[in-house]
């Protein structure tokens, strides 16, 4: 079962490993990313950042959806991590279990504007967010579990 779906362009790092994972009692981190799924060096690097007692699974978007939608995954406590708004939308459209998405960190890039201290969005991101909101998803901004939940629609 998915305990949290998080957008974080750094994927697995200290906040995810040592703050979110224990806060939601996750026993499995699933990184859904087409590029990282093909990059052995990135897989190794992310493996070094995960908590020792937590399983790390790195798959393409399609393979991650297949894995999570399998009945056997329901026994796991999954923290699903993607690195973009677009990928979060793909996952939400292919995994019915996703009802809420946490925006944790999206760094500033070309054509993006900051909406909070850790989130910068492009116009394309905002269009996708509006579609996800129209589909009834809760989209919330929090870097760490102790932060106050801020709904993204109040920031865009």
Q: At 16, list the tokens.
A: 């995810």
Residue 13: active-site member: yes
For the chain, the three-class secondary structure string (H helix, E strand, C coil) is CEEEEEEECCCCCHHHHHHHHHHCCCCEEEEECCCHHHCHHHHHHHHHHCCCCCEEEEECHHHHHHHHHCHHHHHCCEEEEECCHHHHHHHHHHCCCCCEEEEEEECCCCCCEECCCCEEECHHHHHHHHHHHHCCCEEEECCCCCCCCEEHHHCC
Instruction: Return the sign of the alpha-carbon dihedral for residues 137, 143, 145, 151.
Output: negative
Q: Which of 13, 86, 130, 142 is catalytic?
A: 13
CB atoms within 10 A of CB 140: 17
Could you list the active site residues?
A: 13
């Amino acid at each position: 079962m998915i305990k949290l779906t998080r957008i974080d362009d750094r994927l697995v790092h200290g906040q995810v490993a040592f703050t979110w994972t224990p806060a939601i009692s996750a026993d499995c981190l699933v990184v859904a990313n087409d590029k990282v799924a093909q990059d052995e060096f990135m897989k190794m690097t992310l493996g070094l950042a995960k908590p020792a007692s937590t399983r790390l699974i790195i798959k393409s978007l399609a393979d991650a959806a297949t894995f999570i939608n399998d009945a056997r995954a329901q026994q796991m406590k999954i923290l699903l991590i993607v690195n973009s708004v677009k990928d979060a939308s793909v996952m939400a459209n292919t995994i019915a279990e996703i009802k809420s998405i946490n925006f944790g960190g999206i760094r500033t890039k070309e054509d993006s504007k900051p909406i909070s201290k850790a989130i910068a969005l492009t116009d394309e991101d905002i269009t996708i967010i509006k579609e996800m909101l129209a589909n009834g998803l809760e989209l919330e901004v929090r870097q760490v579990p102790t932060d106050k939940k801020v709904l993204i629609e109040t920031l865009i």
